[in-house]
Chains A and B, each alone.
Chain A
Amino acid sequence: MSPPTEPGEIDALIAQVARLPGLGPRSARRLVLHLVRRRAQVLDPLARALARVAEAARECSLCGNISTSEICPICTDPRRASGEICVVEEVSDLWAMERGGAFCGRYHVLGGTLSALDAIGPEDLRIPALVNRVRDEGISEVILALNATVDGQTTAHYIAEMLEPCGVRVSALAQGVPMGGELDYLDDGTIGAALRARKTL
């Protein structure tokens, strides 16, 4: 049940919060109430952080990552100039890769996948920019970390073809048994892919 009276601006804030992923009107109301009740500890710092991000957040002009500077920290970090570029579909994929910390090269965010049906062509993705980077930055290997869907794989083949004249090594992530996974629970396609990508111990 909604409270009998809600001032218009708080109402508007609740409506905004309810549009965020994972939140609905009821959780939005609870969250806004929490913010207003803890003004100094939560609301003010959050409002300042939001304002700063709103002011400064932008796409890195090199890789497409989101950061608060023209060039993102990964692209400016000299230790990450390993000669490897990992190509991902979305910024969320980049952040997922970074969470693991296993990759110490740089990234390239495409901003989607090729899809004729959705009218997304190579020029809508950052594929020409990728080809330029490979040529200009002395890249030795491009790792394609794209989804195992038809669109993802079409994009992977397309990029491999575009990079062929550069003579760079192009690889793709392995597909198979997840860490801690049990074979019993895997589907036949995954087991087949894992078997094809087996390695000598």
Chain B
Amino acid sequence: MRCYVQSLTLAQFRSHARARVLADGRPVALFGPNGAGKTNLLEAVSMLSPGRGLRRAGADDLARRPAGLGWKIRAEVQGSDGTHEIETAAPPGQSRSVRIDGKLTPQLALGRVLAMLWLTPAMDRLWTEGAEGRRRFLDRMVMSFLPDHAEAVLTYERAMRERNRLLRDQIGDDAWYGALEHQMSESGAQITANRRTALLALAEATTGAQTAFPAAELSLTGPDDSPQPDTVADLRAALAEGRRRDMAAGRSLSGPHRADLGAVYAAKGQPAALCSTGEQKALLISMVLANARALMARRGLAPVLLLDEVAAHLDADRRAALYDEVLALDVQAWMTGTGQELFAGTGHRLQGLRVTQAEGISAIEEKELP
């Protein structure tokens, strides 16, 4: 099933007082000068998935300044089970609400309408920075396969926050810890199992794939390459044994919230963190493409890809290869670049949209690409 965004209307969102994009299902190439609001359009699309979007911004930061009127996004999407109208908005000072087909729903329901993956320039340092970004990247891929993953994560985090509070307050009630660890170990083991399922699906989609991008061998470990407690019983035992140590640290030190995603550039046998900047980017692109292929194979649905400034760090051949692979996958990818020459050679195969802004008014016009 092809899933894509058909129309997108923004009101008071970031730099756009008002903007409307009509997409016909082809991959979208957004180009225009710096500050025209290209990434803001991508961010608006990312708000059609659960969570805080591709910049992880708070609801208030998304509102156009200085108006302070709050913001609203309306979209028509072709989802896994037909066309849906999605509306998401946040009045000033309030958290964002989501309506699907006019009905108020929890954010998590968005994950069942569209699968969405993204790459941003901030993720260029994903392999060299802390494990948190890699976990988030992994969990987004997991959610594309298993939308219910988000609920396990929420249950786990909620119980962990409670446990961390007990640890910080130096409370020594074993039964209370036991009750929280019971829930952490059940949801935590589910999280780890989901992550392993997703990694397996990615590995299957990588083996033998025709792609210009380097294959990554992925692994799931605990912090500092320690083994990750997998089963409910193991996790429960690890938490119970770690109470004294955790109390000294004031937080929970074992569990899936400490897991790390390891990647090795398969052809060279080199850990991703030691690869060149361009190679690291290529690995990320390779994973996102593998994820899209795996989703088609497993769930029969195509994700929406948001590739911000993806042309940076890629030479002309790799760029052409990326566009070819996106087109071969038949997914709607939203890609940005400053000039249309970055999309040279794609012609009418991509939907070219030029984004400009003058005196606070955004203009988005369709342009044929070279």
Select B151's contact among A114, A115, A153, A189, beta carbons within 8 Å. A189
> Which stretch of B38-46, B73-81, B170-178, B239-247 is in the interface?
B170-178
Q: Which parts of B154-199 form the interface with A (CB within 8 Å)? A: 155, 158-159, 161-163, 165-166, 169, 171, 173, 175-176, 178-180, 182-183
The complex places the Cα of A122 from the Cα of B151 at a distance, in Å, of: 27
CB pair A117–B165 under 8 Å, yes or no, is yes
> Which stretch of A20-28, A37-45, A154-162 is in the interface?
A154-162
The complex places the Cα of A151 from the Cα of B162 at a distance, in Å, of: 9
Chain A residues closer than 8 Å to B178, beta-carbon distance:
157-158, 161
Chain B residues closer than 8 Å to A150, beta-carbon distance:
155, 158-159, 162, 183
CB pair A154–B162 under 8 Å, yes or no, is yes
The complex places the Cα of A157 from the Cα of B179 at a distance, in Å, of: 5
Select B148's contact among A156, A162, A188, beta carbons within 8 Å. A188
CB pair A158–B175 under 8 Å, yes or no, is yes
Query: In angstroms, how far is the closest chain B Cβ from the Cβ of A5?
Result: 37
Select B183's contact among A115, A153, A161, beta carbons within 8 Å. A153
CB pair B171–A157 under 8 Å, yes or no, is no
Query: In angstroms, how far is the closest chain B Cβ from the Cβ of A108?
Result: 17
The complex places the Cα of A188 from the Cα of B108 at a distance, in Å, of: 12
CB pair A116–B171 under 8 Å, yes or no, is yes
The complex places the Cα of A158 from the Cα of B159 at a distance, in Å, of: 13
CB pair A189–B169 under 8 Å, yes or no, is no
Tell me the nearest residue of chain A to B161, going by C-beta.
Answer: A117
CB pair A157–B183 under 8 Å, yes or no, is yes
The complex places the Cα of A151 from the Cα of B178 at a distance, in Å, of: 13
Chain B residues closer than 8 Å to A83, beta-carbon distance:
none
Chain B residues closer than 8 Å to A158, beta-carbon distance:
175-176, 178-179
CB pair A122–B159 under 8 Å, yes or no, is no
Chain A residues closer than 8 Å to B161, beta-carbon distance:
117
User: How many chain-B residues does the 8 Å CB contact rule pick out?
Assistant: 20
Q: Which parts of A118-150 form the interface with B (CB within 8 Å)? A: 121-122, 150
Query: In angstroms, how far is the closest chain A Cβ from the Cβ of B190?
Result: 11
Chain A residues closer than 8 Å to B176, beta-carbon distance:
114, 116, 121-122, 154, 158
Select A161's contact among B158, B162, B171, B179, beta carbons within 8 Å. B179
Q: Which parts of B267-302 form the interface with A (CB within 8 Å)? A: none
Q: Which parts of B187-219 form the interface with A (CB within 8 Å)? A: none
Q: Which parts of A178-201 form the interface with B (CB within 8 Å)? A: 188-189
CB pair A154–B180 under 8 Å, yes or no, is yes
Query: In angstroms, how far is the closest chain A Cβ from the Cβ of B104?
Result: 15
Given contacts A116-B165, A116-B166, A150-B162, contact A121 B171 (CB under 8 A): yes
A residues near B, CB below 8 A?
A: 114-117, 121-122, 150-151, 153-158, 161-162, 188-189
B residues near A, CB below 8 A?
A: 148, 151, 155, 158-159, 161-163, 165-166, 169, 171, 173, 175-176, 178-180, 182-183
A sample of 28 cross-chain residue pairs with beta-carbon separation below 8 angstroms, ordered by A number, consists of: A114-B162, A114-B176, A116-B163, A116-B165, A116-B166, A116-B169, A116-B171, A117-B161, A117-B165, A121-B176, A122-B173, A122-B176, A150-B155, A150-B159, A151-B162, A154-B159, A154-B176, A154-B179, A156-B179, A157-B178, A157-B182, A157-B183, A158-B175, A158-B178, A158-B179, A162-B175, A188-B148, A189-B151
Further pairs besides A116-B166, A121-B173: 10, Cβ < 8 Å: A114-B179, A122-B176, A150-B158, A150-B162, A150-B183, A153-B183, A157-B182, A158-B176, A158-B178, A162-B175
